[in-house]
Structure 1
Amino acid sequence: MKKQLFINGEWVEASKYVELKSPYDGSVIAEIPEAVPEEVDQAIAAADAARQVMAKMPAHQRASILEKLVHLFETRADEAAEIIATEAAKPLKTAKGEVARTIQTYKFAAEEAKRIHGETVPLDAAPGGEGRMGFTVREPLGVVGAITPFNFPMNLVAHKVGPAIATGNTIVLKPANQTPLSAFFLAELLEEAGLPKGALNVVTGRGSVVGEQIVKDSRVSMITFTGSPGVGIGIRNKAGLKRVTLELGSNSALIVDNHIDVDKIINRCVTGAFSFQGQVCISLQRIYVHEGVFDTFVERFKEETAKLQVGNPLDPGTDVSAMITRADVDRAMDWIREAHEGGAEVAAGGVGEDGILYPTVLLHSENTMKVCCNEVFAPIVSINKVASIQEAIDKVNDSRYGLQAGIYTDNVHTAFDAAEQLHVGGVMVNDIPTFRVDNMPYGGVKESGTGREGVKYAVEEMTELKLVVFNRN
């Protein structure tokens, strides 16, 4: 299967191609275009030329295109899930969950397209404002450059493309190198849904070529990026005065208070730690458990982890499959070894073979170890004992990241204290930090990024506020 670039509503033969291989078995899945600067320039030029068409399109028409896209996704949901499972080695049942969320995200985008509004401003509240009427409107920025990761190749793309269409912007999309098929599938559906030519352009290739050019081009008004902090900081430094939204790394933590019924929460915790091999921005990486329930929690966690089925991502029963690259397995194994040599106990897993890292449980890891202080992005979770909730809060905050955190507690005062003191973008009370639905504001503090996604909030990021004042004197 040979794919083409999607530029100005046309499928364009590229000058250069590379093989896309399965993370699970190494077989060749497709030939993928590796765009050169001239092809990236064509995509940006097409998006720039389509700006006025999208900006002038009525809200109901933008909503209608997104509604048609939702219908097409619903019709081809199984095909979409199989694409994700094949290119990303995401277990099929997890991939189906992603497709369901992708559909929800585009539904929210269709709804938000119809309620982008401003407000009246009471100018006579200030001396000299008498006889004047002011109001605000929101206008599209222009060309949005979207750079997306491999781990949610449909839904994280939806969180950029959906709001961009809803707001009347045009898009140049650079998907992750390992997961381009999802982006090409989206382009096919949007073409069928009636999106104007040039409103979406999909260019695949190396970040150092494609991503760099999108970030630096003066015709691009906004960059929305999900990925590593290092790359995100580089984008911020190169983007100049462009609007920039960055969804970056995390080492999300959970606090478990004393007297919690461990049996009620254990399955949820195991899912949060190991879903899609831990390759989730808000994967449960650190757990701080009160000493009163620590031993019970660890035993039950190990028991449930042992039940996970490891294997082929296309097998409906598989819970954990291959990591995205063999190099990521090697890196994760090095971090496990470092932790073990530093005094951490490997209570489960710690084995990597054939591209798969078996679900790994570490006990008594220090916050300075890579498995705790870095984003592990692997099926590894560290469980540590604490004597108090305050100690746990301090340990959660002892991090350069701050995306989401969770706490299980029966005490409402403890819950409010945690909500107030945890320095993160989102606090989940009586849930894991891995919780996300697609209409909530999502984003972090510190090195976890800047700006917020969640369709309504992305709409605000992707529009410019304009003030209009009428002098009636």
Structure 2
Amino acid sequence: MTAAFWVAGKPRTSEETVVVRHSFDGSEAGAHFVPSTVDTEEAVRAAHEVRAEAAALPAHVRAAALDHVSRTLADRSAELADLITAESAKPINWARAEVGRAVSVFRWAAEEARRFSGELQRLDTDPGGTGRMALVRRVPRGPVLGITPFNFPLNLVAHKVAPAIAVGAPIVLKPAPATPLTALALGEILAETDLPAGSWSILPVPNEAAAGLVADPRLPVVSFTGSVPVGWGIRDSVPRKHVALELGGNAAVLVCPDWTDLDYAAQRIATFAMYQAGQSCISVQRVYAHADVFPELTDRVLAHVRALGTGDPRSPHTEVGPMINVAAAERVESWVSQAVAAGGNLLTGGARDGATLAPTVLTGVPEAAAVLADEVFGPVVTLNPVSSVDEGLRRINDSRFGLQAGVFTRDLATAFDASARLDVGGVVVGDVPSFRADQAPYGGVKDSGVGREGPAAAMEDFTEPRVTVLTGLPL
């Protein structure tokens, strides 16, 4: 069955269709209709025209819609997990976890919608403000253009759609061409709500069509998750728009000499360097371990990595599946070869079979090598000894990225020092940087982007303050 796309909350078909294929064996995951330029124009116009009505929706209406999506995602979790695996080749166990996260994101957005109330500020702190009080509310900036990547085809869509609904901002969503089917299935659930027509559209258009959407003045907010050059290119092209960017990174871990449970650290590093074939913005890419613990940690990481099973992602026994396509796997394979040619040591992995790259561990890699300096976005981790905690923190910061970092320490002073000094959006103490609490602010600095996700944080991004001054009040 060919999936319809969604224009102003209604299903739509077209002359053109696209087949989505599974990267493990090339089997057909599904097909969808492709919006025409007329369909796209209608979606944008509808979002623009409904903006005042959407902003005026009572909080209970917005919250009820979000609650319905959350409950229905939970009811359809097995079906949606299978769909995620079919189109993205994400191992089924991770796909099930993703659906669970999206259930929570919509639930949290419903809760935030109910308490998104603004604040009162007394103004009689100066003589000229005697008898005056300000009501500071946040109002939608206008319709949102959400652009999402392939690696989380449901949860990253949820992080665009849920906060937009929560604040009453219409949203036009452009899912990744590689993985649009899950987003289109979400449309079936959104269509069951009482949101007004035009509140949302889902347009699986090719990437070439994104520029026109980005430039359209009727979409004053752009929320993009994806690659660095595309993200900054968007921001540079529309300097008068409000642009939020989550652009990835090369997440680092520091294992301090006081950390005694090296097997736990090694297991977490191995799992979250390789989970989802490393195709996560906060997968572990760089490990810096104090020289006192480096040899043992290396042995334990290798043991855990070698125990990870690769294969068909539809099997619950598969822990590391294929990458999104053969071209992506070939790129990472070449980066590993370049690192070895530059003097790095390949401890395990490196071999490619189609779109699957064996989990790979490297040591002794020069700092300028792509596997250290850039975002690998593949199942590759580098292990690096450091002589001190200070050196480890400095080397983590020696990156053009700054999304999240992990620090294995039990020393409170070290933890606070790391939090103060690391130039990243989040520091995870006692674990890897791959931990994300979906309700918390999430984003980065430097080339990792600008703005924050998480329902409450994104609701701030999608809105602006409006002040109402009340006069003649007995305070």
| Residue of structure 1 in register with 2:245 after alignment | 246
| Residue of structure 2 in register with 1:4 after alignment | 4
SS of residue paired to 1:205: coil
SS of residue paired to 2:270: helix
SS of residue paired to 1:31: strand
Provide the rounded CA distance (Å) in 2 between the counterparts of 1:268 and 1:393: 20
Provide the rounded CA distance (Å) in 2 between the counterparts of 1:8 and 1:156: 21
Q: Contact between 2:9 and 2:190, CA under 8 Å: does it hold in 1?
A: no
Query: What are the equivalent positions in structure 2 for 1:267-416 lying under 5 Å apart?
Result: 267-416=267-416
TM-score by length of 1: 0.97
1:230-264 CA-to-partner distances (Å, cap 9, x unmatched) read: 00001101223221110012000000011422022
| RMSD (Å), alpha carbons | 1.3
Provide the rounded CA distance (Å) in 1 between the counterparts of 2:153 and 2:75: 19
**Corresponding pairs, count:** 472
Provide the rounded CA distance (Å) in 2 between the counterparts of 1:103 and 1:47: 25
TM-score by length of 2: 0.97
1:15-72 CA-to-partner distances (Å, cap 9, x unmatched) read: 3222211111112323333333322111111212222332121101110111111111
Provide the rounded CA distance (Å) in 2 between the counterparts of 1:230 and 1:127: 51
| Residue of structure 2 in register with 1:214 after alignment | 213
Q: Contact between 2:250 and 2:286, CA under 8 Å: does it hold in 1?
A: yes
Q: Contact between 1:427 and 1:433, CA under 8 Å: does it hold in 2?
A: yes
Provide the rounded CA distance (Å) in 2 between the counterparts of 1:161 and 1:444: 20
SS of residue paired to 2:468: strand
| Residue of structure 2 in register with 1:196 after alignment | 196
- Alpha-carbon offset, residue 351 of structure 1: 0.4
- Alpha-carbon offset, residue 451 of structure 1: 0.6
Moved more, 241-250 or 410-419: 410-419
Return 5+ residue gaps in structure 2 as ranges: none
What is the one-letter code of the residue matched to 2:193? A
Provide the rounded CA distance (Å) in 1 between the counterparts of 2:441 and 2:362: 32
1:321-340 CA-to-partner distances (Å, cap 9, x unmatched) read: 11001001110011001100
Q: Contact between 1:132 and 1:472, CA under 8 Å: does it hold in 2?
A: yes
| Residue of structure 2 in register with 1:159 after alignment | 159
Provide the rounded CA distance (Å) in 2 between the counterparts of 1:139 and 1:114: 14
Provide the rounded CA distance (Å) in 1 between the counterparts of 2:52 and 2:429: 45
Provide the rounded CA distance (Å) in 1 between the counterparts of 2:96 and 2:287: 28
| Residue of structure 1 in register with 2:18 after alignment | 18
Query: What are the equivalent positions in structure 2 for 1:33-182 lying under 5 Å apart?
Result: 33-182=33-182
SS of residue paired to 2:124: helix
Return 5+ residue gaps in structure 1 as ranges: none
Q: Contact between 1:5 and 1:14, CA under 8 Å: does it hold in 2?
A: no
Q: Contact between 1:47 and 1:171, CA under 8 Å: does it hold in 2?
A: yes
| Residue of structure 1 in register with 2:222 after alignment | 223
Provide the rounded CA distance (Å) in 1 between the counterparts of 2:221 and 2:16: 28
- Alpha-carbon offset, residue 366 of structure 1: 2.0
What is the one-letter code of the residue matched to 1:471? T
Provide the rounded CA distance (Å) in 2 between the counterparts of 1:102 and 1:266: 28
What is the one-letter code of the residue matched to 1:373? A
Mapped pair 1:255 → 2:254: yes
What is the one-letter code of the residue matched to 1:242? K
Provide the rounded CA distance (Å) in 1 between the counterparts of 2:8 and 2:444: 34
Provide the rounded CA distance (Å) in 2 between the counterparts of 1:15 and 1:221: 30
- Alpha-carbon offset, residue 294 of structure 1: 0.7
Provide the rounded CA distance (Å) in 2 between the counterparts of 1:323 and 1:299: 26
SS of residue paired to 1:125: coil
What is the one-letter code of the residue matched to 2:226? G
What is the one-letter code of the residue matched to 2:223? T
Percent identity for Structure 1 against Structure 2: 42
Q: Contact between 1:170 and 1:198, CA under 8 Å: does it hold in 2?
A: yes
What is the one-letter code of the residue matched to 1:113? A
- Alpha-carbon offset, residue 5 of structure 1: 1.9
| Residue of structure 2 in register with 1:233 after alignment | 232
SS of residue paired to 1:128: helix
Provide the rounded CA distance (Å) in 2 between the counterparts of 1:248 and 1:379: 18
Provide the rounded CA distance (Å) in 2 between the counterparts of 1:159 and 1:200: 14
Provide the rounded CA distance (Å) in 2 between the counterparts of 1:18 and 1:381: 35
Moved more, 103-112 or 121-130: 121-130
Mapped pair 1:422 → 2:422: yes
SS of residue paired to 2:330: helix
1:164-218 CA-to-partner distances (Å, cap 9, x unmatched) read: 0010111100000111011101100111233332211011122221x21221111
